[in-house]
Amino acid sequence: MAFRQLFIAARDIPDFDVISAHQLVVDGALLGSGQGVVPGLGNVDPRGYRNLVDAAGTVVAAAEAISADMAAKNGQ
């Protein structure tokens, strides 16, 4: 089953949460109504992932959070 199909199939199952641990699909997990993420890189950049989770549900807000976080890390 494809990643996207898993989230779609599980969306309406009561008391069933889908959580992704793969940092390359965090954005897709959150956009696909995943309830959380546990990325390995969260240990390196916890604030960046926290910003993504806080912005989940709003693609524009998530993109802005990523851009702001990257700018801050680059001293801009």
State the chain's mean pLDDT as an integer. Answer: 79
Return the CA Rg of the chain: 13
Tokens 């959150």 -> residue: 30
Per-residue pLDDT tens digits for 31-64: 777 778 888 888 988 988 888 888 776 766 777 7
Beta bridge partners of 37: 20
Would you state the pLDDT for residue 17? 82
How confident is the model over 3-9, as a mean pLDDT? 76
Q: How many whole angstroms separate alpha carbon 8 and alpha carbon 50? A: 23
Per-residue confidence (pLDDT) for residue 72, from 0 to 100: 85
Res 59: pLDDT: 67
Q: How many domains does the chain fold into?
A: 1
Provide the residue range defining the domain that includes 38.
3-73
Query: What is this structure's pTM?
Result: 0.58
